[in-house]
Amino acid sequence: MPFIPHTEAEIQAMLEVIGVTDIEQLFDEIPAQLRSGELEGIPETASEMQVAREVQAFAEQDSGALNFIGAGAYEHHIPAAVWQLVSRGEFYSAYTPYQAEASQGTLQVIYEYQSMMTGLTGMDVSNASLYDGASSLAEAVLMAVRANRKSKSKKILMPTSVHPAYRATTDAIVRNQKIELVEVAVDPQSGRVDPATLSQWDGEDIAALVIPQPNFFGVLEEVDALTDWAEKNAVLSIAVVNPLTLGLLKSPGEWGNGGVDIVCGDGQPLGAPLSSGGPYYGLLCCKQKHVRQMPGRIVGRTIDADDKPGFVLTLQAREQHIRRSKATSNICTNQGLVVTASTIHMALLGPKGLKEVASHCYANTHQLTDKLKPMGATPLFSGEYFHEVVFDLKQPAEPVLEKMADQGVLGGYALGRDFPELKNAILVCATETKTENDLQQFVDALKRAKN
Amino acid sequence: MVIFEHSKTGRAATAQMPQDSVKIDLPARFLRESDVGLPELSEMQVVRHYTQLSQKNFSIDTQFYPLGSCTMKYNPRACNSLAMLPGLVDRHPLAPDKYSQGFLQIMYELQEMLMEVTGMQAVSLSPMAGAQGEFAGVAMIRAYHDTQGDAARTEILVPDAAHGTNPATAIMCGYKVREIPTDDQGDVDMTALREAVGPQTAGIMLTNPSTLGVFERKVAEIAGIIHEAGGLLYYDGANLNAILGKVKPGDMGFDVIHMNLHKTFSTPHGGGGPGSGAIGVSGRLLPFRPIPVVEKTGERYHWLTEKELPQSIGRLSAFAGNAGVLLRAYVYMRMLGREGMHRVADFATLNANYLMKRLEQAGFELAFPERRATHEFIVTLKKQAKDYGVTAKDFAKRLLDFNFHAPTTYFPLLVPECLLIEPTETESKEELDGFVEAMICILSEAGNDPEKVTGAPWTQPNRRFDEVKAARELDLKWTSGE
């Protein structure tokens, strides 16, 4: 019996203790008319060897392409040590650290994660993670509405340069609480929000402004001006960041005069494989004054009965298992194992490694732009960009990408799917994993596909 | 020591970074001047530090972990190694069709298997944890009533024994919560239910078996009452392990359910996630499923999005949920197969009833002695608390010294000094017997040497913590100079 250790003799002995003659009797409280357990649609039991063979065939079917798609999920080198350590049973098969004395491993990892993430973002406090970047934005919006006591409007300014799936997710999660997401248009020349456009909301009752950096088009926003506008108008500011870029880019804690209020984003670029979209994790950091509005678990350091330092879950009075209907969120489980991977990943990179990786991502994407210039494929937007760039192909993008895929090159993301006016445009990302030869393959594949 | 205390300026794991130097050509206003706040370490230091930290954890791979309502069963290793195969782990979520058919076929087959075990009409895999599955479910109930133009339904009913996520979810969906009491046999109080139901009822959130470790016997009657009043039924799948292959939520009358794949289908708990809260729906909620969903047309697998499902409650993640967790669940379900799935509930229930009986014989008081255990059951230590001043928390901490993880304590809230014990099907009789011996020993200590129990644990990396200090003098990150 797969994964069940009982011998026939043991089963009999156990039934005897219980005082029944067979296992079936243990289900006698289920009304007979509900009993319908037949599972004809489930395949028969397969051995590990059989399943492995099938799954390997599926995996091979999807392998082998050279990937230049980013759009919220980024290919990076992950040190071998990361997932080998994470796959240790003591991390992999533990539960939420409810018994702190027997969970110091997990708790200390989270404390170290919180320390690293607050350092990276320049914020005071980090939680232990949320599900992913998109849902972290939704939670950041809910948090801002609670935290901005001066605002009654429940209005959020949401630039269209924020990842479309993040906007859709946020809408799905906050809609029923009567929160309104007000679109802020992007300047079509620069590909970012012109800070002057915010003046139309000067003095209005707005709960928060969302500021992506880099934005969905890879373009860098004028974060200082946007943050300062928010502060001046008693609007809370929410940064949506790719944490990997913070090896080079100014941290949200340093934007404008006083830094942002809340930072969210997806931690995937720091140690999580692409894995078809998950599991990743959502990061959430804030200023100290907002800590009691923060959703999710938080670990704190304290002392034990012998005055020895150690770690516990703290501020639990915010959470659903204590506060029930008055909790800050319904979140319970987070993305613990991926956060463990990310903490180890950050420890291995260190400040130098993070800066080097971020720099190479930047450099490779800019080098690709240079290589494409002779073909007449130039960046659509004039704004400075980081490691993703939009090219105008001057012909419908989807068929070109299909032809590139036929040559084994995933050439980018077709922006027409979310922005009908950009149907000729692709969003391309070249991370540190790409070599000179890889970039040339992209150029050659694009040339052939365009003709 | 925290990792930062191993840091030395100028040290680096250089094998993990690009070797050549590149030029950055960005205006200064975008660039960082401050320290990034990461430690500087060698690769071996990192490996050693985190290996040593892992050894400070209890886990299923190292200890019996009878944490009630969490289904801490063995996580087969093949699930991990197959989910980490290069073609799967490196696949970009937006990869085109040509590089997606293998992955999509697995997801499609997983949807089909989950439909079969739950008796629901369709499944969406995207919710990333139980609580997000709950959110999706209640949001669908709301979308359904809104579509009918029925704005009067403002209340969700929740039994008082429910998980805290249930009321918190109802609030996130814009509903008011009304609690329904439990009768002395652990079933929903039907008189109170009838009084609470009305035109304001949007639905009820029910866990069955309930969090009290018993099967809700009147579930069909409850479904009748709620449906007659125009409400819908939500099934919290936290305890699905107890009824796999015995009874299907769809047959009990539920309109929407979530499944904790990290419980019933054995994906790892990972120290608190990632989970997966796939949802299943009845026919009337089909149009409202969260996107994306995998569909098969001819021999081709593809996503359904807002174009095909315009009434969907929308997207709950940037891509398609915790795909890697879904892959692990798929491998587990295939290895169990039809026969293995029936055995899950059989042996989870056998183990729970055996353990319950043995503890009762050893002198422990059961919360519901007249009832069968499902996959879990409750012991109440109110007598020990009164007689010896030894609480459920003390028992829990002392169990750690016997190398057993503690059961769930103080949940559900309505049973005083409770231990909610769930052994799961993957534990052997010897392990259960060992746990009983430890409980007997602690019971004797409670009478003879109570400080041994109230002062526990004695053998762990730390003694009991000052949690008040943790909350009052917040220390949430390491700062240099400590």
Using CB atoms, pick whichever of B30, B39, B167 lies closest to residue A220.
B30
CATH code for the domain of B281: 3.40.640.10
Q: Is some CB atom of chain B closer than 8 A to the CB atom of A420?
A: no
Q: Is some CB atom of chain B closer than 8 A to the CB atom of A225?
A: no
Q: Is some CB atom of chain B closer than 8 A to the CB atom of A49?
A: no
d(CA B223, CA B162): 17
Strand partners, A183: A158
* Residue B466, CA distances (Å) to A21, A151, A298, A317 in order: 49, 37, 16, 16
Q: Same structural domain for residues B382 and B280?
A: no
A384 to B26: CB separation less than 8 angstroms, yes or no? yes
Size of interface A-B (CB pairs under 8 A): 683
Q: Same structural domain for residues B300 and B349?
A: no
Q: Same structural domain for residues B325 and B357?
A: no
Q: Same structural domain for residues B439 and B360?
A: yes
Phi, psi of A344 (to 5 degrees): -65, -40
Q: Same structural domain for residues B363 and B330?
A: no
| Cβ neighbours for A114, distance < 8 A, ≥ 6 positions apart | A125, A126, A127, A128, A298, A299, B476, B477
Superfamily classification of domain A66-77+351-450: Aspartate Aminotransferase, domain 1 (3.90.1150.10)
Alpha helices in B185-275 (DSSP H): 190-196, 219-228
Q: Is some CB atom of chain B closer than 8 A to the CB atom of A391?
A: no
Residues of chain A with C-beta less than 8 angstroms from the C-beta of B217: 29-31
Asked if B458 and B400 count as a contact pair (C-beta separation under 8 A), the reply is no
Strand partners, A388: A429
| Cβ neighbours for B326, distance < 8 A, ≥ 6 positions apart | B106, B107, B110, B125, B261, B276, B278
Mutate to test the interface with B, among A50, A55, A109 (most CBs of B within 10 A): A55
**B367 vs A451, higher pLDDT:** B367
Strand partners, B377: B421
- Choose one of B284, B304, B335: the last residue of a domain: B335
Whether B34 is covered by a domain: the verdict is yes
Cα–Cα–Cα angle for A233, A234, A239, nearest 5°? 95
Asked if B408 and B69 count as a contact pair (C-beta separation under 8 A), the reply is yes
Show the tokens assigned to B297: 């047309």
Asked if B125 and B321 count as a contact pair (C-beta separation under 8 A), the reply is yes
Q: Same structural domain for residues B17 and B84?
A: no
d(CA A80, CA B301): 33
Asked if B448 and B412 count as a contact pair (C-beta separation under 8 A), the reply is no
User: What integer pLDDT is reported at residue A451 of this predicted model?
Assistant: 82
Whether B417 is covered by a domain: the verdict is yes
DSSP E strands, A297-424: 298-303, 309-314, 388-392, 409-410, 413-414
d(CA A3, CA B74): 7
Q: Same structural domain for residues B95 and B127?
A: yes
A176 to B56: CB separation less than 8 angstroms, yes or no? no
Asked if B277 and B130 count as a contact pair (C-beta separation under 8 A), the reply is yes
Asked if B255 and B223 count as a contact pair (C-beta separation under 8 A), the reply is no
Residues of chain B with C-beta less than 8 angstroms from the C-beta of A384: 26-27, 30
- Residue of chain A with shortest Cα separation from B274: A335
Q: Same structural domain for residues B178 and B208?
A: yes
A410 to B247: CB separation less than 8 angstroms, yes or no? no
Which helix (H) or strand (E) is B94 found in, with range? none
Show the tokens assigned to B332: 């587990």
pLDDT digits (tens, 9 = 90+) for B2-52: 999 999 999 999 999 998 889 999 999 999 999 999 999 999 999 999 999
| Cβ neighbours for A20, distance < 8 A, ≥ 6 positions apart | A26, B353
pLDDT digits (tens, 9 = 90+) for B274-287: 999 999 999 999 99
- Closest approach of B419 to chain A, Cα-based (Å): 14
User: What integer pLDDT is reported at residue A331 of this predicted model?
Assistant: 86
Using CB atoms, pick whichever of A69, A317, A320 lies closest to residue B165.
A320
For this complex, say whether ipTM is above 0.95. Answer: yes
d(CA A382, CA A172): 33
CATH code for the domain of B387: 3.90.1150.10
Asked if A398 and A430 count as a contact pair (C-beta separation under 8 A), the reply is no
Q: Is the dihedral of CA A28, A33, A38, A39 positive or negative?
A: negative
Measuring CA to CA, which residue among B372, B158, B157, B163 is closest to residue B260? B163
User: What integer pLDDT is reported at residue B257 of this predicted model?
Assistant: 98
Q: Is some CB atom of chain A closer than 8 A to the CB atom of B144?
A: no
- Residue of chain A with shortest Cα separation from B346: A23
Asked if B120 and B250 count as a contact pair (C-beta separation under 8 A), the reply is yes
Alpha helices in A373-410 (DSSP H): 397-406
Residues of chain B with C-beta less than 8 angstroms from the C-beta of A279: 128, 273-274, 322-325
Q: Report CA Rg, chain A.
A: 25
When pLDDT is averaged across residues B313-338 and rounded to a whole number, the result is: 97
Asked if A11 and A20 count as a contact pair (C-beta separation under 8 A), the reply is no
Using CB atoms, pick whichever of A315, A329, A384 lies closest to residue B30.
A384
Asked if B395 and B404 count as a contact pair (C-beta separation under 8 A), the reply is no
Residue type, position B147, single letter: T
Mean pLDDT of chain B: 96
A302 to B354: CB separation less than 8 angstroms, yes or no? no
Phi, psi of B148 (to 5 degrees): -75, -5
Q: Is some CB atom of chain A closer than 8 A to the CB atom of B187?
A: no
SS3 B158: strand
d(CA B32, CA B46): 26
Q: Same structural domain for residues B260 and B369?
A: no
Show the tokens assigned to B238: 């936290």
- Residue of chain A with shortest Cα separation from B350: A23
d(CA B236, CA B252): 13
Show the tokens assigned to B84: 């980490």
Whether B473 is covered by a domain: the verdict is no
pLDDT digits (tens, 9 = 90+) for B400-453: 999 999 999 999 989 999 999 999 999 999 999 999 999 999 999 999 999 999
Q: Residue B36: is it exposed, middle or buried by C-beta count within 10 angstroms (0-12/13-18/19+)?
A: buried
Pairing of strands B256-259, B279-281: antiparallel
d(CA A91, CA A94): 6
pLDDT digits (tens, 9 = 90+) for B203-228: 999 999 999 999 999 999 999 999 99
Using CB atoms, pick whichever of A33, A120, A275 lies closest to residue B37.
A120
Q: Is some CB atom of chain A closer than 8 A to the CB atom of B299?
A: no
B461 to A310: CB separation less than 8 angstroms, yes or no? yes
d(CA A249, CA A430): 18
Domain assignments of chain A as residue spans, ordered by start: 66-77+351-450, 80-344
Q: Could you give the maximum distance between any two Cα atoms of chain A, in Å?
A: 84
Mutate to test the interface with B, among A8, A17, A47, A58 (most CBs of B within 10 A): A58
Q: Same structural domain for residues B347 and B318?
A: no
Residues of chain A with C-beta less than 8 angstroms from the C-beta of B115: 41
If one counts every other C-beta atom within 10 angstroms of the C-beta of residue A323, the result is: 15
* Residue A10, CA distances (Å) to A123, A367, B349, B425 in order: 57, 68, 15, 13
Q: How many domains does chain B have?
A: 3
Q: Same structural domain for residues B244 and B383?
A: no
Show the tokens assigned to A260: 């942002």
Cα–Cα–Cα angle for B17, B19, B20, nearest 5°? 135
Residues of chain B with C-beta less than 8 angstroms from the C-beta of A220: 26, 30
d(CA B440, CA A367): 70
Strand partners, A266: A282
Question: Among 3.40.605.10, 3.40.640.10, 3.40.50.720, 3.40.50.150, what is the CATH number of A80-344?
Answer: 3.40.640.10
Asked if A209 and A226 count as a contact pair (C-beta separation under 8 A), the reply is yes
Q: Is some CB atom of chain A closer than 8 A to the CB atom of B132?
A: yes
A56 to B82: CB separation less than 8 angstroms, yes or no? yes
- Closest approach of B16 to chain A, Cα-based (Å): 6
d(CA B348, CA B340): 12
User: What integer pLDDT is reported at residue A319 of this predicted model?
Assistant: 84
Per-residue pLDDT of chain A (451 residues; tens, 9 = 90+): 889 999 999 999 999 999 999 999 999 999 999 997 779 999 999 999 999 999 999 999 999 999 999 999 999 999 999 999 999 999 999 999 999 999 999 999 999 999 999 999 999 999 999 999 999 999 999 999 999 999 999 999 999 999 999 999 999 999 999 999 999 999 999 999 999 999 999 999 999 999 999 999 999 999 999 999 999 999 999 999 999 999 999 999 999 999 999 999 999 999 999 999 999 999 999 999 999 999 999 999 999 999 999 999 999 988 888 888 888 888 887 899 999 999 999 999 999 999 999 999 999 999 999 999 999 899 999 999 999 999 999 999 999 999 999 999 999 999 999 999 999 999 999 999 999 999 999 999 999 999 8
Say whether pLDDT at B482 is over 70.
no
- Choose one of B288, B316, B335: the last residue of a domain: B335
Strand B279-281: give its sheet, edge to edge.
B122-124, B279-281, B256-259, B232-237, B201-207, B155-159, B176-180
- Choose one of B281, B300, B335: the last residue of a domain: B335
pLDDT digits (tens, 9 = 90+) for B262-319: 999 999 999 999 999 999 999 999 999 999 999 999 999 999 999 999 999 999 999 9
Using CB atoms, pick whichever of B106, B251, B315 lies closest to residue A172.
B315
SS3 A414: strand
A5 to B168: CB separation less than 8 angstroms, yes or no? no
- Closest approach of A265 to chain B, Cα-based (Å): 11
Asked if A36 and B220 count as a contact pair (C-beta separation under 8 A), the reply is no
Q: Which of B183-192's residues contact partners 24+ apart within 8 Å by CB, and which partners?
A: B185/B214, B185/B368, B185/B370, B185/B371, B186/B161, B186/B210, B186/B212, B186/B213, B186/B214, B186/B367, B186/B368, B186/B371, B187/B214, B187/B216, B187/B217, B187/B218, B188/B159, B188/B216, B188/B218, B188/B222, B190/B218, B190/B221, B190/B222
User: What integer pLDDT is reported at residue A11 of this predicted model?
Assistant: 98
Domain range spanning residue B241?
A: 78-335
DSSP E strands, A295-395: 298-303, 309-314, 388-392
* Residue A363, CA distances (Å) to A360, A374, A431, B165 in order: 5, 18, 9, 46
